[in-house]
Chain A
Amino acid sequence: MQPILKVNLTTGETSEYIIPIEWERDYIGGASLAARMLYPILTADLDPFSPESPLLFLNGPLSGTAGPTVGRFVVCGKSPATRLWAESNCGGFWGPELRFCGYDGLWITGKARKPVYLWLNDGQLTFRDAAAVWGKDTYEAQSVIKSDIGVPGIHVLTIGPAGEKGVKFAGMYCDHGRAAGRTGLGSVAGSKNLKAIAVKGTKKIPLTHPIDFAPLRSASNRFLREDTVSQVIHELGTAGIANYSDYLGGTPKKYYHQGIFEGVDKVSGSAMAETILTGVSACHACVVACGRVVRLEDGEKRKGPEYETIIGFGPNFLNDDLAVIVRLGEICDRLGMDTISASNIIGLAYHLFEKGIISEQDIGFALRWGEMSGVEKLLNLMARREGIGNIMADGSRQFGAHFGAEDEAVQVNGLEVAYHDPRGVSGMALVYATSPRGACHNKSDYFLVDWGQADTSIGVQFIGRQAGAEKSANVAHHQDWRSVCDSLVMCLFGNVPAEMVAGLVNAACGYDYNVNDLLRCGERGWNLKRIINNRMGLTSSNDKLPKALLQPLADGPAAGYVPPLEEMLTAYYQARGWDPETGKPTPKKLAELGLEWVAQDIWK
């Protein structure tokens, strides 16, 4: 791999960090490698908003090549929302451009005396005054910085006002509205007075065997073009799954408390394609092009929403107005807030209002399902930490706790649950309960496996969508594979066979890995993140689901069912080789994975 550029914002010092070769082999890149690099630093007493708190941006060995869906980078650190391991990956062009600068990552610590942005021009880093963009939204900030620098082809990663104000679900944004949305690392950047990072490079991506790589990446992209799932995502965006998800009871409505909402059809990817869609957008070298371009009544072209944003601002509020969803998604992107967390927290406000736990006096206005003006007001209040928004900006767990109703919040370990209901697709129960970053749907998009996307080459079988403990080992296998994807950093929408991925990694890195070797790397990364979290205080009691998801719905396709989480967890710990009492990886498992060196940290 290329060096990592270390930047201390307090002192202005920079240095190059060379990744040990054995770490590259063991962790591949991306999030798993970041876990290895940050292991000594991520401790229980580290304040995520302290200058010592790291922000580590990493690519993978395929990033920036013309391989299949590998235009992403990941940013890692300690989450202010969960106070656990944080990672969030992002598409667009920023990650590849960083590699074109001759660096595979940026490792940022310290705190600038006043707001700055970084400008990395090939190998040259300069600190620039961010006074002119501090307070600006993410779209404006990107535009101003580009014209300020004045070099064509720049890509800017920035935070919005929410990140500046320490909103704990603030993200980082590039290439218009591509987001590293989850776990609140935008607010970590804000705490460092770091507004943005602009990059432009001209160097070549290093490949060990370029002659072997070229035909493989052509074949994999050809494969993607012919793949039906890729065609669905290309034509309909990720919201193309909305109708089928709803049909199986996997789409939450009314803050996870209602099973039927006819309006899902009006806001699905199909509906968007038939009404406001005017084009598509793609990340670096991606043939899938899941991004949506839409046009509303004002005639302006806008980013169209993906599945999570559509459900979060649609059925979650019993709203079936797609144009309103588009606008609310844009407000989140501009203010720099994750749409999943933001819509979830406001959903909780509506829910608490309906239950009489909070009132008009607390909020300043009434909240009624289907009325979306309240959502827009609350988005703005949260981003600016004004009024009730100041409490909501700390996340749903703290918001609920403030009103004595923490158990009403649909979150796990401080991260709000995404919009795949485990009562419709039970694998998601384990995914949410055991994800290293809280209730994340991307550490395993197991809902797709529950629909039938069972890839036997990674050891995953198709088991009924409302099955229980019999799918626990399957979930662990799938998490290991997605951990590989997070190392590469490869998009989950790249439905490429595992053998093909192994071939690409081998050609890029000079390895001789088979799929099982990759899975072992994924398992190692998954366990290391678990250990980091164990060290920061996570125990088996954290592996849980919120109350709402353990209550049966009265109607709809998932009516009457709740996932048997305890049984599933018992089988999961067994499959993982984790101690059934503490949920920690056993010394035997650590030895199997070459992680003996951490045993003393968690088994004192």
Chain B
Amino acid sequence: MRSSVKTQRNWTLLFVYIILGLFSITTLIPFLWMFLTSFKSLQEVDKPGILPHQWHKENYGEVFKQIPFSQYYLNSFLVAAWVTFLTVVTSAMSAFAFARMTWKGRDQVFLMYLATMMVPGVVTMIPNYAIIVRLHLLDSYTGLIVPASFSAFGTFLLRQFMISIPKALDEAAYLDGASPWRTFWDVIMPIAKPGLAALGILTFLGNYGSFYWPLILIKSDSLRTLPIGMLNFDGNYGRQTNLIMAAGMMSLIPPLLLFLIGQKQLLKGIQMGAVKG
């Protein structure tokens, strides 16, 4: 009896592994094709055959010769890093005001934050574009960074995190004569670290892949971020599938590294964002 339950369990597990294996393979095949194609010669790309006849490592160097790829890399990195830093700082501060302080109109203001999260991005995109034109920030780093740095979502996420911290901690700090700033820095921020990390990773990944805003804002080649640079490379440099795949592979490295390092926090953050409170 006991052993039959066990064998049944083993069969179930085998079935589970097979199905999960099939899904994983389906997920991986496009990436694998991208990897292999990035090492092929252009003539070879269109021919049947899976492995490159000869591994053309020079494809990767060729990308840098044809387009200012390192500049795109730098731009993407710089913009995403600034947006992440500003978003985390301003969201943490406002989340503190919403979660750990009582003031008149607090809940009404918070409700307004929540309400705007439902508004489609395109609604605010058009006036934001008009504002940036007015401020003469079209085609500039500032124009790329500043409008993306104040997040209602970030405030919401961190508020949810901070509100679960026991109130007794602030009260103890208050009795010790700590100012709100001290409480913020020395009591709440250390506890909120996992939340900050989650928001940081989500923001970085989101902004690194950001497409719409840079697309309408950036006109000069030297300010292009990776997605815009790749779009341009794909559209205006003829069909060079092997090179565009090499560029694609390189553009995937930073998010992959970040994911490997911060996997735990990222997954937590996504699950946390869904908890309404």
Q: Do A and B bind each other?
A: no
Interface of A toward B, CB cutoff 8 Å? none
Interface of B toward A, CB cutoff 8 Å? none
